Amino acid sequence: MKKPLINTVVIIGVGLIGGSFALALKKAALVERVIGIDLDSKNLELALKLGIIDEASNSLVAGLNQANLVFIAVPACSIPDLIKRIISHIPLGCIITDAGSVKSELVNVCESLMPPGIHFVGGHPIAGTEHSGAAAAFATLYHNRRCILTPTATTDQDALNIVTALWQAAGSSVEYMDSLAHDRIFAAVSHLPHMVAFALVHAVDRSAEEEENIMAFSAGGFRDFTRIASSDPLMWRDIALMNREALLDMLDRYSMEFNNLRDRIASSDSDWLEDFFKTSKRLRDGIS
């Protein structure tokens, strides 16, 4: 049997993302032992029962002193505080990496918290479902998905190579990206659509005050479009706050488009509407 790449991986936040990473590394036989840490002891028990982790720890510091790699998969806003609390228990040579969906502010803060000899690599797997917790984790979540890593000028090359190899072994193709560019891109293609879905559910629900049972008539369009509105509220609170500038910029652009569309409907501008929908269809059909 080949020697595992990592002896001890500590997963902090054994939910969909952390649990799936643990399962993927185990499946690829790249890790000897996985220790799980989670605020929710029931979730941790379940992770143990499902074989996602080999050992569970309700205490933040237990197990950390043996870690070769720490994978942090808790809501993004909590990550800096968490690192402050654990950093003195992390052995020299350890790699800390994360899965936070927002990178720029997070990477700056996390890097500033690393003492010499402990290496931080920012990451964001482009994979997920609208489900949460260890029960939602599965080993193939990252198959044929991208994982963005956001190295900086100070990122340790060996640490970056190891994190890259782990994500590749989990089935992902790894891309390196500047963290600010990452946040602008994901504000457009992920964060804005989620905000639109959240707002749409509210708008339709408010109409229910006038039209009873309106939700009972919701069919394909509304259901497909709003599936992502049932994503984890804490995670999305953190993303909205941590990617505020890029997201506000995208919301402003969207509002302009939307107000224009509204005005054209109000003025029954048939040609413009047809042209607008044709262009939308062409752009959407062009996405592979």
Ligand X SMILES: NC(=O)c1ccc[n+]([C@@H]2O[C@H](COP(=O)([O-])OP(=O)(O)OC[C@H]3O[C@@H](n4cnc5c(N)ncnc54)[C@H](O)[C@@H]3O)[C@@H](O)[C@H]2O)c1
Binding site for ligand X (CB under 6 A): 12-18, 37-40, 43, 73-76, 78, 82, 99-101, 124-125, 128, 132-133, 232, 235
Smallest separation (angstroms) from ligand X to the CB of 39: 4
Nearer to ligand X, 74 or 246 (CB): 74
Query: Quick one: tokens of 209?
Result: 């005050």
Smallest separation (angstroms) from ligand X to the CB of 60: 7
Smallest separation (angstroms) from ligand X to the CB of 1: 30
Phi-psi region at 28: left, alpha or beta (left = phi > 0; alpha = psi -120 to 50): alpha
Smallest separation (angstroms) from ligand X to the CB of 150: 13
Are 118 and 94 in contact by the 8 Å Cβ rule? The answer is yes
Smallest separation (angstroms) from ligand X to the CB of 62: 12
Phi-psi region at 117: left, alpha or beta (left = phi > 0; alpha = psi -120 to 50): left
Smallest separation (angstroms) from ligand X to the CB of 285: 25
Smallest separation (angstroms) from ligand X to the CB of 73: 4
CA 95, CA 67: separation in Å to the nearest integer? 9
